């Protein structure tokens, strides 16, 4: 429901709120952001996308995409999916499903032997990543009253295990697990007073959790306004991430792991890039520039020293996301394909479309009669 209220710019006085449009789509790739799909021009024209009353997370289909962007849709029913990840052994996909009623982690077996199954219960569970041995799913949950990190066996056996604890103003997001199984990295975002919880409202630091010591500590002095989007290279010797620079540009970097102080900027100062991702063989690094339907690919060499070639572009027809949301796609560990999300109506023409933009002319005249 879109509301309006009269405002006096001289005194700051507000009138009573009145409903003016019902059924404006709300939601995006990050439904918690509550983005309203409407805009108003200075000449009094209203445009909006019609959708359900409440959070309107779009439905997606899971699909493989080749380097040319051709999709191979997986036999998983469409749903409000986010953050799909392929297990390191290439046998399973994990993702979280988020709608206005519930949020949980789901697993799909790539042998095609059955439907996707729900893995976690007991809270709003989100942002899954795989452990190094593909036996565990690490995820964020609020089941304990804080936005901390847990893990659950991928086969569903046993109860979820708490790994971290977060203060009230802190939100933790798992990012990547080291291939040797020793640590995983996560973002710890602290909101500014009065702004609510979220990386975009405060500051985020990259943290390392040690399975041996069961402790967490800041990693490499990496901080940003948004999630770092960190990912270990397949051999575990390099780390890719992105940080927000002065002026708002998000810049991708690669550095050795463990940190030595060396750092390689992977984009030009004017372009930037976010959501970095390694190819399955570690010979390429990918990142996104923005909402365009392409993705940057850079061939890299790590021996005898780190070097990289000029950036090229590859098709990215799958769903993108801004830095504060996190990467919505993944690379196949033992192949050249990408795992991504595509709009359900694009994968299946019989799906009801949400791409109709409604235009209301002379809308300010109607406002005068509704808002007193």
How far is 146 from 265, CA to CA, in rounded Å? 35
In this prediction, residue 32 carries a pLDDT of 47
* Residue (of 133, 124, 122) closest to 211 by Cα position: 133
In this prediction, residue 349 carries a pLDDT of 60
In this prediction, residue 58 carries a pLDDT of 75
The DSSP code sequence of 234-295 is TTSSEEEEEEE-TTS-EEEEEEESS--S--EE-S-TTT--EEEEE-TTSSEEEEE-SSSSEE
Write out the chain's pLDDT in tens, 372 residues: 888 999 999 999 998 888 888 888 776 544 445 578 899 999 989 999 887 644 446 789 999 999 999 999 999 999 999 999 999 999 999 999 987 678 999 999 998 778 999 999 989 999 999 999 999 999 999 999 999 999 999 999 999 999 999 999 999 999 999 999 999 999 999 875 544 444 444 589 999 999 999 999 999 999 998 899 999 999 999 999 999 877 778 999 999 999 999 999 999 877 889 999 999 999 999 999 877 778 999 999 988 889 999 999 998 999 988 888 899 999 999 888 999 999 887 766 655 555 688 999 988 888 888 887
Domain ranges of the chain: 2-53+354-370, 60-347
Contacts 24+ apart (CB under 8 A), 241-247: 241/206, 241/276, 242/273, 242/274, 242/275, 242/276, 242/287, 242/323, 244/323, 245/272
Asked whether the beta carbons of 142 and 156 are under 8 A apart, the reply is no
Residue 168 DSSP label: T
Using CA of residue 200, residue 202, residue 208, residue 213, what is the dihedral sign?
A: negative
Of the CA atoms within 13 Å of residue 136, those in its CB half-sphere come to 21
In this prediction, residue 154 carries a pLDDT of 97
Q: Which residue bears the tokens 């996301």? A: 321
Q: Is 199 helix (H, G, I), strand (E, B) or coil?
A: helix
In this prediction, residue 140 carries a pLDDT of 97
> Which class would CATH give 60-347?
mainly beta
Asked whether the beta carbons of 175 and 184 are under 8 A apart, the reply is yes
* Residue (of 22, 18, 97, 24) closest to 55 by Cα position: 24
Asked whether the beta carbons of 230 and 206 are under 8 A apart, the reply is yes
In this prediction, residue 200 carries a pLDDT of 45
φ/ψ of 223, rounded to 5, equals -135, 155
The CA-CA-CA angle for residues 343, 345, 351, to 5°, reads 140
């Amino acid at each position: 429901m879109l509301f309006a209220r009269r405002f006096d710019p001289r005194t700051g006085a507000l009138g009573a709120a009145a409903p003016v449009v019902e059924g404006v789509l709300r939601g995006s790739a990050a439904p918690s952001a509550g983005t309203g799909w409407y805009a108003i021009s200075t000449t009094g024209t209203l445009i909006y996308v019609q959708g359900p009353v409440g959070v309107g997370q779009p439905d997606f289909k899971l699909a493989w995409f080749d380097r040319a962007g051709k999709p191979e849709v997986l036999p998983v029913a469409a749903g409000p999916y986010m953050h799909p990840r392929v297990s390191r052994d290439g046998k399973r996909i994990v993702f979280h499903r988020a709608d206005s009623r519930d949020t949980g982690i789901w697993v799909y077996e790539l042998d095609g032997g059955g439907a996707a199954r729900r893995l976690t219960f007991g809270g709003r569970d989100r942002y899954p990543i795989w452990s190094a041995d593909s036996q565990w799913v690490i995820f964020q949950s609020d089941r304990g009253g804080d936005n901390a990190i847990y893990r659950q066996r991928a086969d569903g056996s046993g109860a979820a295990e708490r790994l971290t604890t977060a203060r009230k103003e802190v939100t933790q997001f798992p990012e990547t697990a080291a291939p040797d199984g020793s640590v995983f990295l996560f973002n710890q975002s602290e909101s500014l007073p009065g702004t609510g919880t979220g990386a975009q409202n405060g500051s985020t630091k990259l943290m390392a959790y040690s399975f041996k010591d069961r402790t967490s500590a800041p990693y490499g002095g990496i901080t940003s306004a948004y999630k770092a989007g960190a990912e270990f290279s397949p051999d575990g010797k390099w780390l890719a991430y992105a940080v927000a620079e002065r002026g708002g540009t998000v810049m991708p970097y690669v550095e050795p792991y463990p940190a030595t102080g060396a750092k390689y900027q992977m984009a030009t100062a004017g372009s930037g890039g976010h959501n970095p991702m390694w190819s399955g063989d570690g010979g390429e690094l990918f990142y996104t520039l923005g909402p365009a339907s392409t993705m940057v690919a850079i061939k890299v060499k790590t021996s005898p020293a780190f070097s990289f070639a000029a950036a090229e572009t590859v098709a990215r027809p799958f769903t993108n996301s801004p830095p504060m949301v996190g990467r919505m796609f993944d690379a196949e560990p033992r192949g050249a394909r990408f795992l991504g999300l595509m709009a359900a109506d694009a994968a299946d023409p019989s799906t009801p479309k949400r791409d109709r933009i409604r235009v209301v002319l002379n809308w300010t005249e109607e406002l005068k009669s509704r808002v007193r």
